[in-house]
C-alpha cells in the first residue's frame, strides 16, 4: 500500500539510452550486435578517441575516452565505426516522439536522455507499468535499449537510472537515500566533478552522506551557492519541474511512428503523415515556433533507412502546410518498398513572433490590404497627431 505522501508526490522518470551511439549503429547494422564494437571520432587513427562502446566491449575493460590504439591492444578484433550525427539525431527524435505519446511533459536534456513527469497520468501506482511500456516500445519500434529511473524528483530519478544498465528500471524513494546513496563517494553524485570533489576533500567531506549532513556555512564558504544546492540534492531535495520548453536550444521538432503492419499503399502512408503533421504542428504551436526545413524519415521492412528534406521560403507551423511538404517529399522519393516507420521533422526553427512571410501570389492580397490600412493610419495620425492610432493586438 502507498501512503498518503506517495499518492500525492511528484513522479518523475529519467530515461537514459544505453550506449546510445553504439546501439544506433547496431540497429542499422545487426551484424554489429553481440560483438565488441565502438564509435570513435577517427577510427583509422590509433589516437582517435572512443565516443562510446558496446557492452560487450565494456565487459573486456574498454571504456569511453579510451584511444582506438588502447582499445585494440585489449581486443584486437574490436570493430570501430565512425560517428554519424544525422543518424543519431533521427534516432533521438524518434525516442522523444514515443515519449510524447504518453505526455507532453517531456524535457530532453541531451541527445540520449530526458525527464518525463508522469504524475498526472498514473503517478507512482502505475509508474513501473508506464516505464516498462516506454522501454519495450523503444526497444521494439527502434531496436534501442534504455534504462529508466523512477523517483519524486529529477536528481533522484537520474541517480536511479544509473543503478541498473542496460535495460534497467529502478525506483528510488527519499527514505532509501541514507542506505543507498549516502555511503557512496561524493564523485559518484551527479553534479560533482573532479574539481568539486577536490574542494570537498579539502574540507573533510568524502561521502555523499557527509555532504548531506555538513554544516551549511562550511559548504557555502567552500563552494558558494552551488555547494548549498549539492547539499540539498544529497538530502534528496530537488524542486526543479520538468519543463518541455527548457530545451529550446534544440534545432528541430519531430514526430515518428512505427506502423502496426508494413504499409504498401500510398494512401495509407499519407494518412500516417497527416497524423504526424498534426502532432508536429501541435508541438510547434505550443512553443510558438516555426521552421523552414522539412525532413521525412522512411524505414522499410528490411530496416533500410532514408531521409529526404527540403527548405521552404515561408516558415511552417500549420498542420496543412507541414503535411503538404511531407507528402510531396514522400511521393517523390518513395520507391514502393513496404514501409515500417515514418517520421517528420521541422528544423531551422524561429519564434513565430519573428515571422516574416515573403510576398507570393497567395499572400499578395493580404499585404495589399495591409498597405491600404497603413495609408489610412497615416492620414488619421496627420489629423489627430502621432501615435494616436494603434494596431489591435491578437490575444494570446
Name the CA radius of gyration of the chain, rounded. 26
CB 91 within 8 A of CB 35: no
Q: Is 6 a catalytic residue?
A: no
C-alpha distances (whole Å) from 52 to each of 20, 29, 84, 260 are 8, 16, 13, 32
Q: Name the active-site residue from 25, 56, 107, 113.
A: 113
16 marked ligand binding residue: yes
Q: Which of 134, 133, 163, 166 is nearest to 149 (CA)?
A: 163
Residue that is written with C-alpha cell 554519424 in the block: 84
Q: Which ranges of the chain would DSSP assign to H, the alpha helix? A: 4-8, 20-28, 55-58, 68-74, 85-99, 127-142, 154-161, 177-180, 194-202, 208-212, 216-234, 266-287, 319-333, 364-384
Cis amide leading into 255 (omega within 30)? no
The residues, ordered by sequence, that sit 6+ positions from 74 with a Cβ below 8 Å of its Cβ are 60, 61, 62
Which residues, in sequence order, are bridge partners of residue 295? Answer: 309, 345
Residue 3's CB: how many other CB atoms inside 10 A?
A: 8
CB 377 within 8 A of CB 388: no
Distance CA(119)–CA(107), nearest Å, equals 14
Q: Which of 269, 365, 281, 358 is nearest to 312 (CA)?
A: 358
Distance CA(288)–CA(349), nearest Å, equals 10
248 marked ligand binding residue: no
CB 56 within 8 A of CB 36: yes
Q: Which of 12, 171, 6, 18 is nearest to 103 (CA)?
A: 12
C-alpha distances (whole Å) from 223 to each of 90, 208, 209, 216, 220 are 39, 15, 17, 10, 5
- Judged on CB neighbours under 10 Å (0-12, 13-18, 19+), 314 is middle
Annotated binding site: which residue ranges?
16, 112
Annotated binding site for Mg(2+): which residue ranges?
16, 112
What residues are annotated to the active site? Answer: 113
Amino acid at each position: 500500500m502507498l501512503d498518503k505522501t506517495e499518492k500525492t508526490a511528484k513522479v518523475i522518470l529519467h530515461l537514459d539510452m544505453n550506449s546510445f551511439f553504439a546501439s544506433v549503429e547496431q540497429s542499422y547494422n545487426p551484424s554489429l550486435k553481440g560483438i565488441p564494437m565502438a564509435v570513435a571520432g577517427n577510427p583509422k587513427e590509433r589516437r582517435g578517441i572512443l565516443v562510446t562502446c558496446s557492452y560487450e566491449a565494456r565487459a573486456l575493460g574498454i571504456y569511453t575516452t579510451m584511444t582506438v590504439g588502447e582499445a585494440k591492444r585489449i581486443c584486437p578484433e574490436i570493430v570501430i565505426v565512425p560517428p554519424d550525427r544525422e543518424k543519431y539525431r533521427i534516432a533521438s527524435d524518434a525516442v522523444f516522439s514515443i515519449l510524447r505519446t504518453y505526455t507532453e511533459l517531456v524535457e530532453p536534456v541531451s541527445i540520449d536522455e530526458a525527464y518525463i513527469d508522469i504524475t498526472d497520468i498514473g503517478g507512482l501506482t502505475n509508474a513501473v507499468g508506464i516505464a516498462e511500456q516506454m522501454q519495450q516500445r523503444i526497444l521494439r519500434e527502434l531496436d534501442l535499449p534504455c534504462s529508466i529511473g523512477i523517483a519524486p524528483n529529477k536528481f533522484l530519478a537520474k541517480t536511479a537510472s544509473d543503478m541498473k544498465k542496460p535495460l534497467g528500471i529502478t525506483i528510488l524513494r527519499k527514505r532509501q537515500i541514507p542506505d543507498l546513496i549516502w555511503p557512496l563517494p561524493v564523485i559518484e553524485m551527479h553534479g560533482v566533478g573532479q574539481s568539486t570533489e577536490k574542494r570537498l576533500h579539502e574540507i573533510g567531506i568524502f561521502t555523499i552522506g557527509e555532504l548531506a549532513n555538513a554544516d551549511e556555512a562550511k559548504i557555502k564558504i567552500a563552494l558558494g551557492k552551488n555547494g548549498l544546492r549539492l547539499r540539498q540534492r544529497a538530502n534528496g531535495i530537488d524542486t526543479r519541474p520538468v519543463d518541455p520548453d527548457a530545451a529550446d536550444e534544440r534545432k528541430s521538432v519531430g514526430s515518428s511512428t512505427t506502423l502496426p503492419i508494413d504499409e504498401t499503399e500510398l494512401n495509407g502512408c499519407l494518412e500516417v503523415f497527416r497524423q504526424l503533421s498534426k502532432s508536429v504542428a501541435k508541438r510547434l504551436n505550443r512553443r510558438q515556433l516555426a521552421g523552414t526545413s522539412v525532413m521525412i524519415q522512411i524505414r522499410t521492412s528490411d530496416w533500410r533507412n532514408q531521409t529526404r528534406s527540403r527548405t521552404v521560403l515561408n516558415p511552417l507551423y500549420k498542420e496543412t502546410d507541414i503535411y503538404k511538404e511531407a507528402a510531396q517529399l514522400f511521393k517523390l522519393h518513395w520507391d514502393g518498398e513496404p514501409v515500417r516507420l515514418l517520421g517528420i521533422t521541422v528544423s531551422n526553427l524561429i519564434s513565430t513572433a519573428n515571422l516574416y512571410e515573403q510576398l507570393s501570389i497567395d499572400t499578395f492580397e493580404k499585404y495589399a490590404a495591409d498597405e491600404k490600412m497603413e495609408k489610412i493610419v497615416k492620414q488619421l495620425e496627420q489629423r489627430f497627431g502621432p501615435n494616436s492610432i494603434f494596431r489591435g493586438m491578437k490575444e494570446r
